[in-house]
Amino acid sequence: MNTTTVLGLIAAREAAASATRDDLHQQQAKLTAEVAAIDAELADLATTRHTLTKILEDEVTSSEPAVISELYQQILAVFTPDRDALRAKDVCLALEIGTEAKDTEGIRAKLKRLVNRHTLTEIQPGQFTLIGTRA
């Protein structure tokens, strides 16, 4: 092999390596931009989660009647100091809504929220009364 041929092969390999390097730099720039966009989205989601959590915590811990929705006020109206403990199904019947599982589970979740708000107490699993009421 002569020197010209060897130098030609080296030049061809250099050109190929240079082209591959340029392609990788472009891919790296594209990936860097994608990572930056995902980082920005993650930061936005973290801020949204933090804000929503704060709002929900404030709602759950608030016991002001003005903050409690009409349905919660209707649920609370079912409970009276002289009434025995009620189950979710009893509340559904008192509110004249369905007593299917979807209905009772929805009411049960709301009753649990009222327990978290320290408005109701769960004296036994599934049995709710007003705080300070004996069952």
- What is the distance between the alpha carbons of residues 47 and 72, in angstroms, rounded to a whole number? 29
Residue with tokens 């025995």: 84
**Over pLDDT 70: what percentage of the chain?**
88
pTM of the model: 0.50
Question: What is the length of the chain?
Answer: 135
Q: What is the pLDDT of residue 134?
A: 54
- Mean pLDDT, the chain, rounded, equals 87
Do residues 12 and 32 both lie within one domain? Answer: yes
Q: Do 96 and 113 fall into the same domain?
A: yes
CB 111 within 8 A of CB 91: yes
Which parts of 78-126 are beta strand (E)?
120-124
Judge if 57 and 83 occupy the same domain: no
Q: DSSP assignment, residue 85? A: P
pLDDT digits (tens, 9 = 90+) for 108-127: 999 999 998 888 999 999 99
Structural domain for 2, as ranges:
1-61
- Evaluate if residue 64 carries a pLDDT over 70: no
pLDDT digits (tens, 9 = 90+) for 39-63: 999 999 999 888 887 777 665 555 5
DSSP state of 84: P
